[in-house]
Structures are given as structure tokens and as C-alpha cells.
Amino acid sequence: MASHRKSRPVGTRVAGIRTPALATAALTSVALLSQSANAAPADDRPSLEEVEKKVDDLYRQAESATDNYNAAKEKTATQRKQVDTLLDDVARRTEKLNEAREELGSFAAAQYRTGAGASGTATFLLADTPQDYFDQTQLMGRLTNRQKGAVDDYVSEQSATMKKRQEASQSLQTLSETQSDLKTAKATVQKKLADARETLSELTAQEKARLAAIEKRKQEEAARKAAELAQQQAAAEKAAQETTAPQESTSTATDSSYATKAAKALAFVRAQIGKPYVWGATGPDSYDCSGLTQAAWKAAGVDLPRVTYDQVNAGTTVSLADAQPGDLVFFYDDISHVGLYIGNGMMIHAPKPGAYVREESIYYDGESAIHSVVRPA
């Protein structure tokens, strides 16, 4: 028997309410839009990894700008000495020029008093005797020759003084330009550091804790890599001792000399642990990275240049596997950071603003960050 039950209307139930079929599509669209909205991020805040990379990049840029600042500062000091020397030279020459001018004036006065400009007859009339005339003529001849010499000296000194004045003027202009570069580099450092501080200040306490956890994992990985390098170096040293007969050689003497100097540099740098990083600082209370390595090797009697991209050329490049305590380890493509290798994959360095001189793995920023190793003496 056919059922007399009415068929169920096409549609859906929402919260117990039957909806007409025509509304179904609209409700489906609303649901999809709601899902899309829920899937989208609540805001445009970067991930912690992105924040960490941004801050690290800012610190690196600040350190690179610090090297530019150090170079400009050193150049400014050198140019200021050159300018002072030139100005002193100009002052001496001007005084000498004034003396030559006075000498010419005295000759002119002498000519006027003795009548050197008069004719021979007039001069003879002024003489009491022929002998007096002869003496006066001889005197005038000598005065004339001396006067010519004085004029030549005056002209020569005047030309030299003008040249020195031009050199001093050009040096002053160069000094002014270098001081402008120094000011620009200083402003760049300050801007990068301010940006880094602002970025970190925007993090919540929870985000800062997570960021610290990320940093800890990086340090653990860096320590692991350092331990691996230490094992490799120890194995290589042992193999070299087993295959090489003990003998005195020039190479051995050189290694011994380097080890002695390196020990002094290492003793110095260990004594600086805990002192703050300050950009542009060379000690004794604070350091930047190249200021620390420069001071360490100076304690060993070796003069290194001030900035990293000059220090990297102040010695012999060696492989990382052959690195010895005292070697300089440089980082990044722009060679903007340096540390002093102490062995076993570790170094002592002045890391960055806000940090302190410390011992750390050379892999602190990953293996790819290592640029080169240089033996400075």
C-alpha cells in the first residue's frame, strides 16, 4: 500500500530549524567564509625564527658598520696628524718668508743710504778719496750680488710656502670628508642597534622564553660541532706524530716561536672574559671584536691592523682543520666578525652589543658563517 506520509522538504537543519532549499547555498558560503577566516593568521606578526634572524642580521650589520666607523676613526686620526704637520710647516715657512722679505727691505735701505742707484761719477763725487770710491764700488757690487741671492731665496721660499698651503688646504678638505664618513658610520651603528632593541622589546614574555630556547638549541649544536672538530684535530695531530720522526727543523722552531707568542695572546684574552662589548672600543675596560683581537696580539708583541677586513690579510691563511690556538677566526662574507681560537673548536670573542667577552664555539652561528682562519705571526 502506498504511503501517505509527506516527503521531507529538501534542505538542512541549523540549530534545530528546518531551512528552505534556497537558503542552503547561502549558508554553505557563510560556513566556507568562516572557515577561511579561522584558517588565516590572527595578525601579521613574524615567527620567532624570523624575529631571531632579523635581530641577528641587525647586529651583524651594526658590527659591519662598526668596522667602517673604526676605519674612518683611524683614518681621521692619521689625517689630523698630517694636517697638523703641514700647518706647522706652513707656519715655519711663512716666518722664514717674512725674514727674507725683511732682508730685501734692508738691502733696499742700504742702497738708498749709499747711493748705489747713482751713476759712477756721482758716487765718485761722494767719495773723499779715490780709495774711498774704490771701497764703495766694491761694497755696492757685493750688495747687488747678495741682493740677487736674497731675491732668489725669497721667490723660492714663496713658491714652496704656497705649495704647502695648498697641500694643507687639500688635507683639511679630505679630513672634513672623512669626518663626515665617521659621522655617517656612527649613525648607522646606532640605528641598527636601536632597531634590534625595538624588535626585541615587541616580544611577549612567552615569546622571549621560546626565543631563548631556540638560542639554547643553537648553542648545543655549536658545542657538538666544536667537539667533532676537536676530535678530528686530535686524531690528525696523533697521526702526524706517529709518521714523523722527531727532529729539529726550521718548521719546528717556527711553530715553537708562534706557540710562545700565541700563549701570551691567549693569556691576555682570557683575562678580558666578562668585559662588555662596546662598539669602537679597544680596551682596557671594553672591546669590540677586532679591538679585542688587536689588543690580545699586541700583548704578544704583534701589531695587528684595527679592523677585521685588514686583520684578515695580516698573516697566513690556514685551513680550519689546521687551526692552532692563537689563530684568528673570521666570520661572514663581509668579514665583519673575528674571534681568537683557543683550541678544541672554541674561541674567545666579543660577540655583539649587549653581550660580554666570552668563550664560545666557533660554530655559534653555523658552519657556513666561518669565513677563514688566519695565523698572524
Q: Name the active-site residue from 337, 352, 371, 375.
A: 337
Query: Of residues 260 and 208, which shows the higher confidence score?
Result: 260
pLDDT on residue 1: 43
Q: Look up 289 and say whether it is catalytic.
A: yes
pLDDT on residue 7: 44
CA atoms of 338 and 329, how far apart (whole Å): 5
On the question of pLDDT at 23 being above 50, the answer is no
18-28 mean pLDDT: 41
On the question of pLDDT at 20 being above 70, the answer is no
Return all residues near 118 (Cβ < 8 A) that are at least 6 apart: 126
Quick one: what percent of the chain has pLDDT higher than 70? 71
Q: Name the active-site residue from 60, 186, 349, 375.
A: 349
Scanning the structure block, which residue is given the C-alpha cell 666570552? 358
Look up the pTM and report it: 0.65
pLDDT 10s digits, 193-210: 899 889 888 888 888 888
Which of 279, 294, 282, 269 lies closest to 357, judged by CA?
269
Mean pLDDT estimate for the chain? 78
Query: Of residues 21 and 242, which shows the higher confidence score?
Result: 242
251-275 mean pLDDT: 88
Cis peptide before 284 (omega within 30 of 0): yes
pLDDT 10s digits, 266-283: 999 999 999 999 989 999
pLDDT 10s digits, 296-309: 999 999 999 999 99
Q: Name the active-site residue from 51, 72, 289, 342.
A: 289
Q: Look up 337 and say whether it is catalytic.
A: yes
Which of 301, 232, 230 lies closest to 264, judged by CA?
301
